[in-house]
Structure 1
């Protein structure tokens, strides 16, 4: 089983790219710092539940989608 941060990061990147959204746009929509989004996507940041909820909302997906392994 992969580290949950890596799973979340891969899911955020995949969904963001499917929506043709830049990291900058996602950061703006989720009201988070651009470097924080990059760190999450690389699996190096430990996002709070609140941050993940804001990202999920900005991506228009349920929060559970960010946590599920593909």
Structure 2
């Protein structure tokens, strides 16, 4: 099962690191607790639309870019899941 919050966290962490920002810097800029941002990045908490907008502003990244990146990851995971679950069946013959 694809967890949107885990993939969102992965994308947010990657964007933060690309910009060379620490959790503390994002926390101060977004006015969100450092611990809460950490939980979002680890996929343990859901981000509200308001919180996501604050994080995007702090990271200077358009919301559409974040959502596009997450959408691409969701598509990749769905494809991988479909490939592994709908592969050819192997039937063992009883001897």
* Same structural fold, with TM-score higher than 0.5 when normalized by the shorter chain: yes
In the TM superposition, residue 2 of structure 1 has moved relative to its aligned partner by 2.4
Q: How many correspondences in the alignment?
A: 70
Relative contact order: is structure 1 or structure 2 higher (C-alpha 8 Å, sep ≥ 6)? 1
Unpaired runs of 5+ in structure 2? 74-95
CA distance in 1 between counterparts of 2:6 and 2:56 reads 16
Question: What is the Cα-based RMSD across aligned positions, in Å?
Answer: 1.3
Structure 1: tracts of 5 or more residues without a match: none
**TM-score normalised according to structure 2 size:** 0.68
Larger Rg: 2
Q: Is 1:9 aligned with 2:9?
A: yes
Residue pairs, 1:1-70, within 5 angstroms: 2-67=2-67, 68=70, 69-70=72-73
Q: Following TM superposition, where does structure 1 have runs of at least 4 consecutive aligned residues deviating by more than 6 angstroms?
A: none
Cα distance in structure 1, aligned partners of 2:7 and 2:43 = 8
